[in-house]
Amino acid sequence: MQGSSRGLGELPAPVRHAVVGAVVLGVCGALVGAVVGLRTYAPTAWAAAIEVGLPAALLGAVLGLVVGSLLRAVDRARRG
């Protein structure tokens, strides 16, 4: 686990935020999809988890990239 966090720290800020956003929102979306799938029709809950989790991960990546880019721009503006 320590190696993966070290590798994540070496990434540029926008990419790092995109990865974190994709993972966090992707997991949350997959959990929501699984719950919805289990409540509607249990044998296809896995598909519902994918149908909700993948778009959520994509949204998280885009939002993370935007936030990371903004943070990088602000940091560069402060430095000079």
| Residue 46 resides in a domain | yes
* Cα–Cα distance list, 68 to 17, 25, 63 (Å): 5, 16, 8
Orientation angle between helical segments 13-40 and 2-9, nearest 10 degrees: 130
Cα(51)–Cα(21) distance, integer angstroms:
18
* Reported pTM: 0.85
1 within some domain? no
pLDDT at position 4: 64
**Cα separation, 2 vs 7, whole angstroms:** 9
pLDDT 10s digits, 25-75: 999 999 999 999 999 999 999 999 999 999 999 999 999 999 999 999 999
Residue 5 included in any domain: no
Read off the pLDDT of each residue in 4-12 and give the average, rounded to a whole number: 80
Q: Looking at residue 32, what is its pLDDT?
A: 98
Number of neighbours of residue 25 by Cβ within 10 angstroms: 21
Overall domain count for the chain: 1
